[in-house]
A = this chain, B = another copy of it.
Amino acid sequence: MKKKRVGIIGAGPSGLAQLRAFEAAKNEGLEVPEVVCFEKQSNWGGMWNYSWRTGVGKYGEPTHGSMYKYLWSNGPKECLEFSDYSFDEHFKKPISSYPPRPVLFDYIQGRIKKNNVRDYISFDTTVRWVNYNEETKKFEVVLDNLKIDKTYSEEFDYLVVASGHFSTPNMPYFKGIEQFPGQVMHAHDFRGADPYKDQDLLIIGSSYSAEDIGVQCYKHGAKSVTLSYRSNPIGVNWPDGITEVPLLKYFEGDTAYFKDGTSRRFDAVVMCTGYQHKFPFLPDELRLKTKNNLYPDHLYKGVFFNDLPNLIYLGMQDQYYTFNMFDAQAWVARDFIMNQYQLPKKAERRIDIDKWLDANEKLETSFDHVDFQTAYIKDLLALSDYPDFNVDQVAVMFKEWLKDKDENILTYRDKTFQSVVTGTKAETHHTEWMDELDDSKERYLYQEECEDGVSEAHEKERV
Protein backbone atom coordinates (compact mmCIF):
# COMPACT_ATOMS: atom_id res chain seq x y z
CA MET A 1 0.00 0.00 0.00
CA LYS A 2 1.21 3.44 -0.88
CA LYS A 3 2.34 5.54 2.05
CA LYS A 4 0.04 8.33 3.15
CA ARG A 5 1.40 11.78 2.39
CA VAL A 6 1.40 14.65 4.86
CA GLY A 7 2.02 18.25 3.80
CA ILE A 8 3.11 20.77 6.42
CA ILE A 9 2.90 24.48 5.67
CA GLY A 10 5.55 26.39 7.59
CA ALA A 11 8.76 25.42 9.39
CA GLY A 12 8.40 27.64 12.42
CA PRO A 13 7.97 26.30 15.96
CA SER A 14 4.65 24.62 15.05
CA GLY A 15 5.75 23.03 11.80
CA LEU A 16 9.00 21.89 13.37
CA ALA A 17 7.04 20.40 16.27
CA GLN A 18 5.09 18.37 13.72
CA LEU A 19 8.28 17.16 12.04
CA ARG A 20 9.78 16.34 15.41
CA ALA A 21 6.67 14.40 16.40
CA PHE A 22 7.02 12.13 13.36
CA GLU A 23 10.75 11.75 13.99
CA ALA A 24 10.01 10.67 17.56
CA ALA A 25 7.66 7.97 16.24
CA LYS A 26 10.20 6.87 13.66
CA ASN A 27 12.88 6.62 16.32
CA GLU A 28 10.60 4.24 18.19
CA GLY A 29 10.53 2.01 15.13
CA LEU A 30 7.08 2.94 13.91
CA GLU A 31 6.34 3.32 10.25
CA VAL A 32 5.60 6.95 9.55
CA PRO A 33 3.92 8.54 6.55
CA GLU A 34 5.76 10.51 3.91
CA VAL A 35 6.12 14.05 5.21
CA VAL A 36 6.97 17.20 3.26
CA CYS A 37 7.23 20.65 4.82
CA PHE A 38 7.10 23.89 2.80
CA GLU A 39 8.74 27.03 4.17
CA LYS A 40 8.65 30.32 2.31
CA GLN A 41 11.67 31.68 4.15
CA SER A 42 15.23 30.53 3.41
CA ASN A 43 15.65 29.11 6.88
CA TRP A 44 13.54 27.50 9.56
CA GLY A 45 12.39 29.07 12.81
CA GLY A 46 9.42 31.06 11.53
CA MET A 47 9.04 34.17 13.64
CA TRP A 48 12.33 33.39 15.39
CA ASN A 49 14.27 33.64 12.14
CA TYR A 50 15.00 37.38 12.33
CA SER A 51 14.88 39.40 9.14
CA TRP A 52 16.00 43.03 8.68
CA ARG A 53 13.55 43.23 5.79
CA THR A 54 10.12 44.82 6.11
CA GLY A 55 7.14 44.73 3.78
CA VAL A 56 8.15 41.94 1.45
CA GLY A 57 11.11 39.59 1.38
CA LYS A 58 13.75 39.13 -1.28
CA TYR A 59 11.35 37.25 -3.53
CA GLY A 60 8.55 39.73 -3.03
CA GLU A 61 6.45 37.63 -0.65
CA PRO A 62 5.00 39.31 2.46
CA THR A 63 7.61 39.23 5.22
CA HIS A 64 6.82 36.62 7.83
CA GLY A 65 8.87 37.92 10.75
CA SER A 66 7.58 40.47 13.24
CA MET A 67 10.56 40.33 15.56
CA TYR A 68 12.97 43.17 16.19
CA LYS A 69 16.40 43.94 17.55
CA TYR A 70 16.72 43.82 21.33
CA LEU A 71 13.77 41.48 21.68
CA TRP A 72 13.99 39.45 24.86
CA SER A 73 11.56 36.75 25.83
CA ASN A 74 8.57 38.42 27.46
CA GLY A 75 7.67 35.33 29.45
CA PRO A 76 9.81 32.93 31.51
CA LYS A 77 11.55 30.35 29.36
CA GLU A 78 10.46 27.75 31.94
CA CYS A 79 6.89 28.22 30.67
CA LEU A 80 7.77 27.19 27.12
CA GLU A 81 10.42 24.51 27.64
CA PHE A 82 10.14 21.42 25.42
CA SER A 83 9.50 18.50 27.70
CA ASP A 84 11.63 16.25 25.46
CA TYR A 85 14.55 18.65 25.11
CA SER A 86 15.44 20.75 28.11
CA PHE A 87 17.37 24.01 28.29
CA ASP A 88 19.97 22.10 30.32
CA GLU A 89 20.44 19.57 27.55
CA HIS A 90 20.97 22.36 25.04
CA PHE A 91 23.06 24.88 26.96
CA LYS A 92 24.81 22.43 29.32
CA LYS A 93 24.43 24.89 32.16
CA PRO A 94 21.74 27.03 33.77
CA ILE A 95 20.87 30.27 32.02
CA SER A 96 18.54 33.11 32.98
CA SER A 97 14.76 32.93 32.67
CA TYR A 98 14.37 35.62 30.00
CA PRO A 99 16.86 35.06 27.18
CA PRO A 100 17.06 37.25 24.08
CA ARG A 101 15.72 36.10 20.71
CA PRO A 102 18.98 34.65 19.31
CA VAL A 103 19.34 32.43 22.35
CA LEU A 104 15.81 31.05 22.05
CA PHE A 105 16.31 30.55 18.31
CA ASP A 106 19.44 28.57 19.12
CA TYR A 107 17.46 26.40 21.53
CA ILE A 108 14.71 25.69 18.98
CA GLN A 109 17.32 24.67 16.45
CA GLY A 110 19.16 22.45 18.91
CA ARG A 111 16.35 19.94 19.16
CA ILE A 112 15.74 19.60 15.47
CA LYS A 113 19.40 19.47 14.55
CA LYS A 114 19.52 16.23 16.55
CA ASN A 115 17.47 14.68 13.77
CA ASN A 116 17.58 15.00 10.01
CA VAL A 117 14.35 16.95 9.79
CA ARG A 118 15.96 19.54 7.55
CA ASP A 119 15.74 17.00 4.73
CA TYR A 120 11.95 17.13 4.86
CA ILE A 121 11.77 20.89 4.32
CA SER A 122 11.51 22.64 0.96
CA PHE A 123 12.81 26.14 1.71
CA ASP A 124 12.05 29.26 -0.34
CA THR A 125 8.81 27.55 -1.29
CA THR A 126 5.41 29.08 -0.78
CA VAL A 127 1.96 27.57 -1.12
CA ARG A 128 -0.07 29.39 -3.75
CA TRP A 129 -3.32 27.48 -3.69
CA VAL A 130 -4.95 24.42 -2.21
CA ASN A 131 -7.79 22.52 -3.75
CA TYR A 132 -9.47 19.72 -1.83
CA ASN A 133 -10.64 17.02 -4.19
CA GLU A 134 -13.83 15.51 -2.79
CA GLU A 135 -13.52 12.40 -4.96
CA THR A 136 -9.94 11.42 -4.26
CA LYS A 137 -10.06 12.88 -0.73
CA LYS A 138 -6.74 14.51 -1.40
CA PHE A 139 -5.41 18.02 -1.07
CA GLU A 140 -3.99 19.30 -4.34
CA VAL A 141 -1.41 21.87 -3.39
CA VAL A 142 0.06 24.40 -5.84
CA LEU A 143 3.58 25.35 -4.84
CA ASP A 144 5.96 28.04 -5.94
CA ASN A 145 9.69 27.53 -5.62
CA LEU A 146 10.70 31.16 -5.26
CA LYS A 147 14.40 30.60 -5.74
CA ILE A 148 14.04 29.11 -9.22
CA ASP A 149 10.70 30.77 -10.06
CA LYS A 150 9.01 27.44 -10.73
CA THR A 151 5.48 26.37 -9.87
CA TYR A 152 4.41 22.77 -9.36
CA SER A 153 1.75 20.66 -7.65
CA GLU A 154 1.69 17.93 -5.04
CA GLU A 155 -1.07 15.80 -3.50
CA PHE A 156 -1.50 15.08 0.18
CA ASP A 157 -3.83 13.03 2.32
CA TYR A 158 -3.34 15.35 5.26
CA LEU A 159 -2.54 19.03 5.33
CA VAL A 160 -1.05 20.67 8.42
CA VAL A 161 -1.32 24.45 8.41
CA ALA A 162 1.44 25.78 10.64
CA SER A 163 1.90 29.18 9.06
CA GLY A 164 1.35 31.24 12.19
CA HIS A 165 -0.93 34.15 12.89
CA PHE A 166 1.35 36.98 13.91
CA SER A 167 2.51 37.95 10.42
CA THR A 168 -0.35 39.76 8.73
CA PRO A 169 -0.87 43.17 10.33
CA ASN A 170 -4.25 44.49 11.29
CA MET A 171 -4.03 48.22 10.79
CA PRO A 172 -7.12 50.37 11.39
CA TYR A 173 -7.54 53.75 9.76
CA PHE A 174 -7.60 56.88 11.87
CA LYS A 175 -8.85 60.13 10.42
CA GLY A 176 -5.98 62.33 9.29
CA ILE A 177 -3.35 59.61 9.44
CA GLU A 178 -2.61 60.05 5.74
CA GLN A 179 -1.41 63.58 6.53
CA PHE A 180 0.61 62.70 9.63
CA PRO A 181 4.12 63.82 8.64
CA GLY A 182 6.14 61.26 10.62
CA GLN A 183 6.69 57.58 10.04
CA VAL A 184 3.62 55.40 10.54
CA MET A 185 4.18 51.66 10.76
CA HIS A 186 2.71 48.51 12.18
CA ALA A 187 4.61 46.63 14.89
CA HIS A 188 5.18 43.95 12.23
CA ASP A 189 7.63 46.33 10.50
CA PHE A 190 9.27 47.63 13.69
CA ARG A 191 12.90 46.50 13.68
CA GLY A 192 14.27 48.19 16.80
CA ALA A 193 14.11 51.26 19.02
CA ASP A 194 17.10 53.19 17.67
CA PRO A 195 15.25 55.38 15.15
CA TYR A 196 13.02 56.65 17.97
CA LYS A 197 15.81 57.98 20.16
CA ASP A 198 14.88 61.45 21.45
CA GLN A 199 11.51 61.22 19.74
CA ASP A 200 7.97 61.46 21.01
CA LEU A 201 6.45 58.15 20.06
CA LEU A 202 2.79 57.21 19.88
CA ILE A 203 1.99 53.54 20.20
CA ILE A 204 -1.53 52.42 19.45
CA GLY A 205 -2.58 49.25 21.25
CA SER A 206 -2.52 47.62 24.64
CA SER A 207 -1.32 44.08 24.11
CA TYR A 208 2.12 42.43 24.18
CA SER A 209 3.55 44.34 21.23
CA ALA A 210 2.51 47.70 22.61
CA GLU A 211 3.89 46.87 26.03
CA ASP A 212 7.17 45.48 24.76
CA ILE A 213 7.88 48.02 22.02
CA GLY A 214 6.95 50.83 24.38
CA VAL A 215 9.30 49.59 27.08
CA GLN A 216 12.10 48.93 24.58
CA CYS A 217 11.86 52.43 23.12
CA TYR A 218 11.87 53.88 26.62
CA LYS A 219 14.94 51.79 27.48
CA HIS A 220 16.78 52.81 24.32
CA GLY A 221 16.22 56.53 24.70
CA ALA A 222 12.88 57.67 23.29
CA LYS A 223 11.99 61.10 24.67
CA SER A 224 8.48 59.94 25.54
CA VAL A 225 6.24 56.95 24.88
CA THR A 226 2.46 57.34 24.79
CA LEU A 227 0.31 54.23 24.63
CA SER A 228 -3.24 54.61 23.39
CA TYR A 229 -5.73 51.89 24.37
CA ARG A 230 -9.14 51.10 22.94
CA SER A 231 -10.92 49.48 25.89
CA ASN A 232 -8.59 48.94 28.80
CA PRO A 233 -5.14 50.26 29.65
CA ILE A 234 -2.30 47.83 30.24
CA GLY A 235 -2.32 49.40 33.66
CA VAL A 236 1.06 48.39 35.05
CA ASN A 237 3.22 50.77 37.06
CA TRP A 238 4.73 52.78 34.24
CA PRO A 239 7.90 54.73 34.80
CA ASP A 240 8.00 58.47 34.12
CA GLY A 241 8.23 58.84 30.36
CA ILE A 242 5.60 56.22 29.53
CA THR A 243 1.95 57.24 29.67
CA GLU A 244 -1.30 55.50 28.77
CA VAL A 245 -4.11 57.48 27.18
CA PRO A 246 -7.54 56.47 25.84
CA LEU A 247 -8.31 55.75 22.21
CA LEU A 248 -6.93 57.93 19.46
CA LYS A 249 -9.72 59.76 17.67
CA TYR A 250 -7.92 61.57 14.85
CA PHE A 251 -4.78 63.35 13.72
CA GLU A 252 -4.39 66.94 12.67
CA GLY A 253 -0.94 67.33 11.16
CA ASP A 254 1.49 65.90 13.69
CA THR A 255 -0.96 66.15 16.59
CA ALA A 256 -3.06 63.27 17.87
CA TYR A 257 -6.39 63.85 19.60
CA PHE A 258 -7.63 61.31 22.12
CA LYS A 259 -11.03 60.31 23.43
CA ASP A 260 -10.49 62.06 26.76
CA GLY A 261 -10.10 65.41 25.00
CA THR A 262 -6.34 65.55 25.38
CA SER A 263 -3.97 65.99 22.46
CA ARG A 264 -0.25 65.73 21.84
CA ARG A 265 2.33 66.19 19.09
CA PHE A 266 4.25 63.11 17.95
CA ASP A 267 7.24 62.32 15.80
CA ALA A 268 6.20 58.79 14.86
CA VAL A 269 3.44 56.23 15.26
CA VAL A 270 3.74 52.47 15.77
CA MET A 271 0.48 50.58 15.47
CA CYS A 272 0.43 47.60 17.79
CA THR A 273 -3.05 46.79 16.64
CA GLY A 274 -2.74 43.07 16.27
CA TYR A 275 -2.66 40.55 13.49
CA GLN A 276 -5.07 38.80 11.16
CA HIS A 277 -5.44 35.05 10.81
CA LYS A 278 -4.78 34.96 7.09
CA PHE A 279 -4.67 31.92 4.81
CA PRO A 280 -4.67 33.30 1.27
CA PHE A 281 -3.74 29.89 -0.14
CA LEU A 282 -6.93 28.16 1.09
CA PRO A 283 -10.41 28.24 -0.38
CA ASP A 284 -12.57 30.19 2.04
CA GLU A 285 -14.57 27.15 3.17
CA LEU A 286 -11.34 25.65 4.53
CA ARG A 287 -10.04 28.85 6.09
CA LEU A 288 -9.93 29.25 9.81
CA LYS A 289 -11.79 32.52 10.27
CA THR A 290 -11.20 33.87 13.74
CA LYS A 291 -9.92 36.71 15.82
CA ASN A 292 -6.98 36.15 18.12
CA ASN A 293 -8.55 34.00 20.77
CA LEU A 294 -7.73 31.30 23.31
CA TYR A 295 -10.07 28.86 21.58
CA PRO A 296 -10.81 29.60 17.91
CA ASP A 297 -14.07 28.05 16.78
CA HIS A 298 -14.21 25.12 14.32
CA LEU A 299 -11.13 23.34 15.66
CA TYR A 300 -11.64 20.10 17.58
CA LYS A 301 -9.01 19.83 20.30
CA GLY A 302 -7.82 23.16 18.96
CA VAL A 303 -6.34 21.51 15.87
CA PHE A 304 -8.72 19.43 13.71
CA PHE A 305 -10.84 21.50 11.29
CA ASN A 306 -14.24 20.14 12.15
CA ASP A 307 -15.66 20.16 8.62
CA LEU A 308 -12.65 18.27 7.34
CA PRO A 309 -10.40 16.89 10.08
CA ASN A 310 -7.65 15.85 7.67
CA LEU A 311 -6.99 19.56 7.61
CA ILE A 312 -5.05 20.36 10.76
CA TYR A 313 -4.19 23.76 12.18
CA LEU A 314 -1.34 24.14 14.67
CA GLY A 315 -0.69 27.05 17.01
CA MET A 316 -3.70 29.11 16.03
CA GLN A 317 -4.60 30.02 19.61
CA ASP A 318 -3.72 33.16 21.46
CA GLN A 319 -0.77 32.07 23.48
CA TYR A 320 0.36 31.84 27.04
CA TYR A 321 1.82 28.41 26.32
CA THR A 322 3.85 28.37 23.13
CA PHE A 323 6.48 25.78 22.15
CA ASN A 324 5.15 23.16 24.54
CA MET A 325 1.58 23.75 23.34
CA PHE A 326 2.61 23.34 19.71
CA ASP A 327 4.32 20.09 20.70
CA ALA A 328 1.27 18.79 22.53
CA GLN A 329 -0.85 19.62 19.48
CA ALA A 330 1.58 18.14 16.98
CA TRP A 331 1.83 14.86 18.87
CA VAL A 332 -1.97 14.46 18.85
CA ALA A 333 -2.13 15.37 15.17
CA ARG A 334 0.57 12.80 14.44
CA ASP A 335 -1.31 10.07 16.31
CA PHE A 336 -4.49 10.86 14.38
CA ILE A 337 -2.62 10.74 11.07
CA MET A 338 -0.97 7.46 12.11
CA ASN A 339 -4.30 5.95 13.17
CA GLN A 340 -3.26 5.73 16.77
CA TYR A 341 -5.89 8.20 17.86
CA GLN A 342 -9.48 8.08 16.59
CA LEU A 343 -11.67 11.14 16.35
CA PRO A 344 -15.25 10.97 17.55
CA LYS A 345 -18.03 11.79 15.09
CA LYS A 346 -18.50 15.33 13.86
CA ALA A 347 -21.50 16.10 16.08
CA GLU A 348 -19.67 14.89 19.17
CA ARG A 349 -16.68 16.98 18.22
CA ARG A 350 -18.99 19.96 17.87
CA ILE A 351 -20.26 19.43 21.41
CA ASP A 352 -16.72 19.33 22.73
CA ILE A 353 -15.77 22.50 20.85
CA ASP A 354 -18.85 24.26 22.22
CA LYS A 355 -17.93 23.24 25.73
CA TRP A 356 -14.60 25.00 25.39
CA LEU A 357 -16.13 28.02 23.66
CA ASP A 358 -18.60 28.39 26.52
CA ALA A 359 -15.87 28.19 29.11
CA ASN A 360 -13.79 30.69 27.14
CA GLU A 361 -16.71 33.13 27.13
CA LYS A 362 -16.84 33.13 30.92
CA LEU A 363 -13.19 34.04 31.47
CA GLU A 364 -12.58 37.36 33.15
CA THR A 365 -9.10 37.81 34.51
CA SER A 366 -5.65 37.01 33.15
CA PHE A 367 -5.41 34.30 35.78
CA ASP A 368 -8.60 32.76 34.33
CA HIS A 369 -6.96 32.80 30.90
CA VAL A 370 -3.92 30.98 32.24
CA ASP A 371 -6.09 28.37 33.93
CA PHE A 372 -8.12 27.89 30.75
CA GLN A 373 -5.11 27.28 28.55
CA THR A 374 -3.58 25.08 31.25
CA ALA A 375 -6.70 22.90 31.16
CA TYR A 376 -6.46 22.76 27.38
CA ILE A 377 -2.83 21.60 27.52
CA LYS A 378 -3.75 18.90 30.04
CA ASP A 379 -6.56 17.76 27.77
CA LEU A 380 -4.06 17.40 24.92
CA LEU A 381 -1.35 15.71 26.96
CA ALA A 382 -3.80 12.98 27.95
CA LEU A 383 -4.18 12.03 24.28
CA SER A 384 -0.60 11.32 23.23
CA ASP A 385 2.75 10.15 24.54
CA TYR A 386 4.30 13.62 24.49
CA PRO A 387 6.37 13.59 27.70
CA ASP A 388 4.23 14.74 30.58
CA PHE A 389 5.25 17.79 32.55
CA ASN A 390 3.90 19.59 35.58
CA VAL A 391 1.44 21.86 33.82
CA ASP A 392 -0.07 23.13 37.07
CA GLN A 393 3.32 24.34 38.16
CA VAL A 394 3.75 26.13 34.82
CA ALA A 395 0.42 27.85 35.48
CA VAL A 396 1.77 29.00 38.84
CA MET A 397 4.77 30.47 37.06
CA PHE A 398 2.58 32.28 34.53
CA LYS A 399 0.70 33.89 37.39
CA GLU A 400 3.96 34.91 39.07
CA TRP A 401 5.04 36.43 35.81
CA LEU A 402 1.82 38.42 35.51
CA LYS A 403 2.33 39.75 39.02
CA ASP A 404 5.97 40.57 38.34
CA LYS A 405 5.01 42.62 35.29
CA ASP A 406 2.36 44.48 37.24
CA GLU A 407 4.84 45.34 39.95
CA ASN A 408 7.63 46.50 37.73
CA ILE A 409 7.55 46.33 33.97
CA LEU A 410 11.24 47.30 33.81
CA THR A 411 12.63 44.61 36.11
CA TYR A 412 10.40 41.55 35.67
CA ARG A 413 12.94 40.04 33.28
CA ASP A 414 15.51 39.93 36.10
CA LYS A 415 13.44 37.31 37.95
CA THR A 416 14.26 33.59 37.83
CA PHE A 417 12.14 30.45 37.71
CA GLN A 418 12.63 26.73 38.17
CA SER A 419 12.32 24.24 35.31
CA VAL A 420 9.51 21.68 35.54
CA VAL A 421 11.44 19.48 33.13
CA THR A 422 14.77 19.26 34.94
CA GLY A 423 14.19 21.00 38.27
CA THR A 424 17.03 23.40 37.47
CA LYS A 425 16.78 26.87 38.93
CA ALA A 426 17.58 29.60 36.42
CA GLU A 427 20.69 31.73 36.84
CA THR A 428 20.43 35.37 37.69
CA HIS A 429 21.72 37.03 34.55
CA HIS A 430 25.05 38.84 34.67
CA THR A 431 23.48 42.19 33.81
CA GLU A 432 20.17 43.68 34.79
CA TRP A 433 17.85 43.85 31.82
CA MET A 434 17.53 47.63 31.85
CA ASP A 435 21.31 47.97 31.59
CA GLU A 436 21.77 45.35 28.89
CA LEU A 437 21.74 46.94 25.44
CA ASP A 438 23.35 44.03 23.58
CA ASP A 439 21.05 41.10 22.77
CA SER A 440 23.59 38.89 20.99
CA LYS A 441 23.99 35.24 21.89
CA GLU A 442 27.73 35.77 22.29
CA ARG A 443 27.30 38.50 24.86
CA TYR A 444 24.58 36.52 26.63
CA LEU A 445 26.53 33.28 26.89
CA TYR A 446 30.06 34.66 27.04
CA GLN A 447 29.52 36.54 30.25
CA GLU A 448 27.98 33.47 31.76
CA GLU A 449 31.28 31.67 31.44
CA CYS A 450 33.38 34.48 32.83
CA GLU A 451 35.10 34.65 36.13
CA ASP A 452 34.21 37.82 37.96
CA GLY A 453 37.47 39.49 37.01
CA VAL A 454 37.04 38.84 33.31
CA SER A 455 33.47 39.95 33.56
CA GLU A 456 34.51 43.27 34.99
CA ALA A 457 37.12 43.71 32.29
CA HIS A 458 34.45 43.10 29.70
CA GLU A 459 32.25 45.64 31.41
CA LYS A 460 35.03 48.21 31.16
CA GLU A 461 35.50 47.52 27.49
CA ARG A 462 31.90 48.38 26.92
CA VAL A 463 32.18 51.79 28.59
Contacts and interface: CB of A to CB of B under 8 A. Distances in A.
Nearest to A186: B55
Contacts of A53: 171
Contact of A60 (B168, B178, B191, B283): B168
A446 interface: no
A173 to B, nearest CB: 7
A241 interface: no
B142 A52 contact: no
A181 interface: yes
Nearest to A285: B151
Contacts of A173: 58
B52 A56 contact: no
A182 B168 contact: no
Contact of A177 (B52, B150, B276): B52
Contacts of A189: 54-55, 189
| This chain's copy number in the assembly | 2
A185 B142 contact: no
Interface in A113-167: 128-129, 142, 144, 149-151
Interface in A265-290: 267-268, 276, 278, 280-281, 283-284, 287, 289
Contact of A52 (B50, B144, B184, B284): B184
Contacts of A280: 60-61, 128, 144
A334 interface: no
Given A178-B50, A287-B149, A276 B60 contact: yes
A241 to B, nearest CB: 20
A448 to B, nearest CB: 23
A195 interface: yes
Contact of A181 (B54, B178, B194, B284): B194
A110 interface: no
A413 interface: no
Contact of A183 (B56, B58, B183, B284): B183
A188 interface: yes
Contacts of A150: 284
A169 interface: yes
A94 interface: no
A62 interface: yes
A192 interface: yes
A219 to B, nearest CB: 14
Contacts of A267: 195
Contacts of A191: 183-184
A168 B192 CA distance: 24
Given A55-B189, A56-B62, A149-B289, A195 B182 contact: yes
A60 B287 CA distance: 15
17 contacts: A53-B171, A54-B55, A54-B184, A54-B185, A55-B56, A55-B169, A55-B186, A55-B189, A56-B62, A60-B169, A144-B284, A149-B284, A151-B283, A151-B284, A181-B194, A195-B267, A195-B268
